[in-house]
Amino acid sequence: MAEAVLVYALVALAAVWTVWKLFLPRSFKARLLRKARKTDCGDGGCETCGD
Amino acid sequence: MTDAGVFPDAPNQEPVRPKPDSMPRVALVGPPNCGKTALFNALTGSRQKVANYAGVTVERKEGAATAPNGERLLIADLPGTYSLRARSPDEEVTRDVVLGRLTDAHPPDVVVCVVDATNLRLGLRLAQELKAVGRPLVVALNMHDIAMRQGIDIDIARLSVELGAPIVPTVAVRRGGLDALLTEVARLATRAPAASTWHVPNVTELRAEHKEADRIFKAAVTPPKRPDTWTGKLDGVLLHPVAGSAILLLVLFLMFQAVFTWATPAMELIDGGFSALAEGIKAVLGDGLLSSLLADGVVAGVGSILVFLPQILTLFLFIILLEDFGYMARAAFLMDKLMGGAGLHGRAFIPLLSSFACAIPGVMAARVIDSKRDRLATIMVAPLMTCSARIPVYTLVIAAFVPRTSVWGMNLQGLVMFSLYAAGVVSALLVAFVMRRLIWRGGSEPFLMELPAYKRPDAKNVILNLWLRAKVFLTRAGTIILSMMVLIWFLSTFPAPPPGAPGPAIDYSLAGIIGHWMEPVLLPIGFNWQIGVALVPGMAAREVAVGALGTVYAVAGDDVGTLGNVLASHWSLATALSLLAWYVFAPQCASTLAVVKRETNSWRWPVIMFVYMITLAYLASFLTYTVARHFGG
């Protein structure tokens, strides 16, 4: 059972990795990564602050 | 005086993470092939490709360096240009950076004009133009050691006065003069730029500029007392229409012979290693899903591709040595008439040569071509040149089906490989010829090329370039190819066959279903369903097809030794030849199509490319298969 779960997890990981590397457009990935990155004050990009 | 005396020590050049907003910006500008990228690598610790011909750099590259006073500088390596009157897209990048026309980049605080000390006349006019731009200017007199060896006497103080800028002798490949250069750059970085007086010159101004450059050259440079006759004598043979062409063919022929003879021991070692690893995994984990995934999916798939690393490196060893020696530009000269006959611009040689490594840098290198239609014609045929991703497919099939015998003293396998490369070149010329007649009518612009000086290949550069090639190959094998092999294993293993199923388990898997579904289309060209399954992931990268075949046959339990042996027992000679013909034309590389879209700014050209290449591939395979079957293959 544990072996099957591990194998399925590895296959799922490979599928996600393949889709990410091959199929998602660069601009879309950049947008996703920008949203995911936590920004602190002074990092820039805040519309209200402008810094 | 030795070089070491002139350039006592190089600065500490650990790569520094750039902090774009706080560092002074330095632009390296100079004519093509004067050693800008070698200087950039030496200053920043980067590993950008350098070669002994013009047009290697087509993009702006940035890195950081630290001056002896501790100041950090942001260095930009720019494509080579003879003048700020840019004519091609790569030259426009340089012009726009220097003139501060780019919206996404600050203008440089200091411009370093890199000139080849052995060919100073060419750099002087550009240095004058850069002076007129008004930004603080330093002239790096690169390859100063070679100029001294050749007996060229350069009066540096006089040259500095004439140009109105400090001159620093450098030897980029040996990191000579870097401290002095960075000190000058750091000193000038605080100076405010003067107002620019540069404008696009008219014909009279151009003539005046040439005259002034000539005057400065004569005032500051004393030519060698005994001029170099060696280059002339060698060029007399290597550029001779008959002898030169025969030597070019011989060099290429020897290259492919070496690919099959030198690389064999290393390939056998890698193959043995992966076989032992697969057996070890099965012995430790026993039969089960995880064991099958690792042994049949990962090891059989990735291993069947990695085994070709020695052949790829042997081929690139030759290409890098020839580039460094200065022979590749001569090969371009020899090929110019042929390329011109096909309607390709002489400068297309650079992108087409780059495409032997990979079509992506080849397509990007087409930026060196001024005219849009010449550039498009080059982009459209660049993927027909045999890229390194095809090598695993070619060598696998050749090793399995072409006997390891000699014909008139020549290795037959090497001869077939040579023919496949020749087929790629010939088909590129033919397609260009047809396209220029159908789509882009009219003659090409004349081609002026500067032949670089012959140089002894630099061992460090050769090793670095080989390592870069190996890294690209290993990274692909460890990332995209690995993940795709896991997916192909999954598709070849699931769903499990129903109880009591008469056929092999893989026939009931998703891969088997997809493969059988494709079979009617592929049968006329002699492909079985396993090849069909391999062609689909081959869309990502051509070499994945080899790994996919390895996995599909491993999952099916065809254990008769190497993948080559498995193929030899399952395929006819006609099928093997048909697959080779397919891969001469096959458009299966999604990344190349994406780059074509980016470079042409339109989906039209990648779509046309895909359609024409897949049509040619199918027709070539059909013809090959039919003829081979007719002769009993």
Q: Is B484 on the interface with A (CB under 8 A)?
A: yes
pLDDT digit string (tens) for B545-577? 888 888 888 777 765 567 888 888 889 999 999
Q: Which residues of chain A make contact with B484, given a CB cutoff of 8 A?
A: 14, 18
* B65-68: long-range pairs with CB below 8 Å, 24+: B65/B11, B65/B13, B65/B16, B65/B182, B66/B11, B66/B12, B66/B13, B66/B14, B66/B16, B66/B182, B67/B11, B67/B182, B67/B183, B67/B185, B67/B186, B68/B11, B68/B179, B68/B182, B68/B183, B68/B186
| Distance (Å, whole) CA B401 – CA B417 | 12
| Distance (Å, whole) CA B594 – CA B580 | 25
Q: Is A15 on the interface with B (CB under 8 A)?
A: yes
Q: Which residues of chain A make contact with B593, given a CB cutoff of 8 A?
A: none
At B468, list the tokens: 């870069």
Q: Is B590 on the interface with A (CB under 8 A)?
A: yes
The CB density around residue B515, as the number of other CB atoms within 10 Å, is 26
Q: Which residues of chain A make contact with B288, given a CB cutoff of 8 A?
A: 3
Q: Closest Cα of chain B to A51: distance in Å?
A: 13
| Distance (Å, whole) CA B215 – CA B455 | 29
Contact predicate B453/B35, CB 8 Å: no
**Count of positions (residues) in chain B:** 633
Q: Is the pLDDT of residue B213 over 50?
A: yes
Q: Is the pLDDT of residue B5 over 60?
A: no
What ipTM, to 2 d.p.?
0.74
Determine the 3-state secondary structure of B168 from DSSP.
Answer: strand
Confidence bin at B51 (pLDDT 50/70/90): low
Continuous H helices in B342-451: 349-354, 359-365, 372-381, 390-401, 412-438
pLDDT digit string (tens) for B398-456? 989 998 888 877 788 888 998 999 999 999 999 999 988 888 776 666 666 778 888 88
> Crossing angle, helix B327-341 and helix B230-238, to 10 degrees?
40
Distances (CA, A) of B123 to B166, B370, B631: 15, 21, 61
The CB density around residue B156, as the number of other CB atoms within 10 Å, is 16
Nearest-by-Cβ selection for A18 from B289, B293, B484: B484
Report domain extents, chain B: 3-222, 461-496+503-630
| Distance (Å, whole) CA B164 – CA B129 | 12
Highest mean pLDDT, choosing among A9-18, B39-48, B57-66, B341-350: A9-18
| Distance (Å, whole) CA B10 – CA B73 | 16
For residue B476, the chain A residue with the least C-alpha distance is A21
Q: What single letter denotes the amino acid at residue B307?
A: V
> Crossing angle, helix B309-325 and helix B390-401, to 10 degrees?
120
% of residues, chain B, pLDDT over 90: 32
**Mutation target among B486, B488, B555, B595 for the A interface, most CBs of A within 10 A:** B486
The number of C-beta contacts closer than 8 angstroms across A and B is 36
Q: Is B540 on the interface with A (CB under 8 A)?
A: yes
- In terms of pLDDT, which residue wins out, B99 or A47? B99
At A13, list the tokens: 């990981």
pLDDT digit string (tens) for B273-309? 998 998 999 899 988 889 989 988 888 888 888 888 8
Q: Is A30 on the interface with B (CB under 8 A)?
A: no
Q: Which residues of chain A make contact with B590, given a CB cutoff of 8 A?
A: 22
| CATH number given to B3-222 | 3.40.50.300
Tell me the pLDDT of chain B averaged across its residues. 85
> Crossing angle, helix B327-341 and helix B412-438, to 10 degrees?
50
Q: Is A3 on the interface with B (CB under 8 A)?
A: yes
- Compute the average pLDDT of residues B481-493: 87
The CB density around residue B633, as the number of other CB atoms within 10 Å, is 17
Closest CA to B345 of B377, B318, B385: B377
CA angle B165, B169, B174 (to 5 degrees): 145
pLDDT digit string (tens) for A1-46? 788 999 999 999 999 988 888 778 778 888 888 766 555 554 444 4
Q: Which residues of chain A make contact with B480, given a CB cutoff of 8 A?
A: 18, 21-22
Nearest-by-Cβ selection for A6 from B290, B479, B487: B290
Contact predicate B393/B375, CB 8 Å: no
Determine the 3-state secondary structure of B454 from DSSP.
Answer: coil
Instruction: Look at the alpha carbons of B516, B517, B521, B522 in this order and tell me if their dihedral is positive or negative.
Output: negative
